[in-house]
Amino acid sequence: MSILNIMWAGGSAFASVQKVHQQILSRVEDCASINTWLLQGSAGIGDLGDQVVEWNLSSDQLKERRIWKLLAPWMRARFKKALPKDLEVVLLDGIGVARALLPVLRTVPGVRAVVIFHGTTRLRGSDLKLFERFSDSELTLVAVSNTLAQSLESDTHRPVAVLRSAYDPVAFRAASLPREQARARLGVPMEASPVLGAVGRLVSGKGFACLLEAFAAASVHRPDARLVIVGEGPERLALEAGIERLGLRGKVSLPGHLPEAATLYRAFDWVAIPSLDEGLGLILQEAVISGVPVLTSELAVFREQLAEAGWYAPPDDAGAWSKLMERAFSASAEVILDGQSRALAPERAWTDFTETSRRLFSSR
């Protein structure tokens, strides 16, 4: 089997999407070749197959804006000419990539397209018409959670396969650093307690501004508490200003983007995921598999994974998040982790993910 994996872009800003695609491709059996196209930006990531082509296209080119609307036929001809020979399956990263490539693939007989949706998507009428040009055997829509799949099925009136991303728990745990090494890497004293961690891009949708406000209130009675937010992004300056304004210097650190972040969870006593919206939230899985319980926003995708074992607070509600932290800091993290591990069932999730990935890419 020959697979072409087409992604919007590479780099740290798209790390979670890259992880999902890497996981899917690693499960495919009897594959002769896997090639990857990055439509924007550079790779800067792990193994994505036998060959990676960086197109370095602009948003105007991909979205067919301005002069590029007139040049769309030329751009599509370039894509078609570059397609690998004997291509069987194309994995498309979300609706943006689908808009750019599905018109091309419609003219290539014998090629099946798989579009994977990683988060909430606003579909246009033109998107639905584009999907209608493909039969179910030619086009498969995939969502990373049941919650997202149900929403897409309602919008598209097409079946949407569920491929809930998962990790090999044995390999993931083996790669995790011990607590002492992880704390040393993050500059967190061993005696600090409790230590709350958060991981993600520094963007407004991740809810880190709310997390700062909540931590400031919760840490009044826990002066040794520490908060570490691992990630980089456009909200850094605003978060740094918030740390100063709230008097949290020395209690909160922003170490930036760390490629090895997935190995550092054992530095924390709890992990907070205060997102306003998520397609799935790989951080939840990474933390629990590493042996660290999580506090999350009250989102359907998190309840889908943790059910009643989750500890939830409404998104962007600093007061509720502060109370949730206070409860957590006084609770037994080991007991909470046990419940969350049983709910997440990472071994079964990995088996299901492997079987579904192989089924999606099997010959039909």
Same domain flag for 269 and 130: no
Amino acid at position 325, single letter: M
Question: According to the model, what pLDDT value does residue 52 have?
Answer: 86
Does 358 reside within a domain? no
| Cα dihedral value 293, 296, 298, 304, nearest 10 | -50
Query: What is the rounded (10 degree) CA torsion for 213, 215, 221, 225?
Result: -150
Q: What is the pLDDT of residues 33-92, one digit of tens each?
A: 889 999 986 655 555 555 888 999 988 898 888 898 899 999 999 999 999 888 999 999
Sequential DSSP letters for 58-70: -HHHHTT-THHHH
∠ CA 217-290-358, rounded to 5°: 125
Considering Cα of 355, then 263, then 266, then 239, what sign does the dihedral take? negative
In this structure, are residues 174 and 261 in contact, taking their beta carbons and an 8 Å threshold? no
Do 138 and 28 sit in the same domain of this protein? yes
Give pLDDT, residue 43.
Answer: 54
Q: Are residues 69 and 126 in the same domain?
A: yes
- Residue 159: cis peptide before it, omega within 30 degrees of 0: no
- Residue-wise burial string across 225-242, b where 16 or more C-beta atoms lie within 10 A, e elsewhere: bbbbbbbbbebeeebeeb
Which residues does the chain have with pLDDT short of 70? 11-13, 32, 41-50, 363-364
Single out the residue in 163, 186, 217 at which a domain terminates: 163
Q: String of b and e for 261-272 (b: at least 16 CB within 10 Å)?
A: bbbbbbbbbbbb
Strands, sheet with 270-273, edge to edge from the N-terminal-most edge strand: 252-256, 226-230, 195-199, 270-273, 294-297, 311-313
Regarding whether 297 and 201 lie in a shared domain, the answer is yes
Q: What per-residue confidence (pLDDT) applies to 188?
A: 96
How far, in Å, CA of 272 to CA of 283, rounded? 9
Could you tell me if residue 28 is inside a domain? Answer: yes
Task: Tell me if 360 is assigned to some domain.
Answer: no
Residue 163 pLDDT: 92
- For residue 6, what is the domain's CATH number? 3.40.50.2000
Same domain, 146 and 242: no
Residue 350 lies in a domain: no
How is residue 251 written in tokens?
């209690």
Residue type at 108 in one-letter notation: V
Say if residue 195 is in the same domain as residue 270. yes
| Of 250, 214, 248, 166, nearest in space to 328 by CA | 214
Which domain range does residue 37 map to? 2-163
Are residues 126 and 178 located together in one domain of the fold?
A: no
Q: Which of 94, 129, 163 is the last residue of a domain?
A: 163
Task: Tabulate helix, strand, coil % of the chain (nearest 5).
Answer: 45, 20, 35
Q: For position 119, what pLDDT does the model report?
A: 84
CA distance 151 to 330: 38
Q: How many domains does the chain have?
A: 2
What pLDDT does residue 42 have? Answer: 62
Residues 97 and 132 in one domain: yes
Query: Is 357 inside any structural domain?
Result: no
How far apart CA 227 and CA 188 sit, in angstroms, is 9
Helices (H), the chain: 15-26, 59-62, 67-70, 72-82, 94-105, 125-132, 146-156, 169-175, 179-186, 208-218, 236-245, 282-290, 300-306, 318-329, 333-344, 346-360
Question: Which residue, of 109, 138, 163, is where some domain finishes?
Answer: 163
Residue 359 domain-assigned?
Answer: no
DSSP secondary structure code for residue 194 in this structure? S
Question: Can you name the residues that pair with 143 across neighbouring β-strands?
Answer: 117, 162
Say if residue 55 is in the same domain as residue 70: yes
The verdict on 116 and 249 lying in the same domain is: no
Whether residue 58 is found in the same domain as residue 128: yes
Statement to judge: residues 151 and 273 lie in one domain: no
CA distance 144 to 331: 32
DSSP H helices, 192-345, are 208-218, 236-245, 282-290, 300-306, 318-329, 333-344
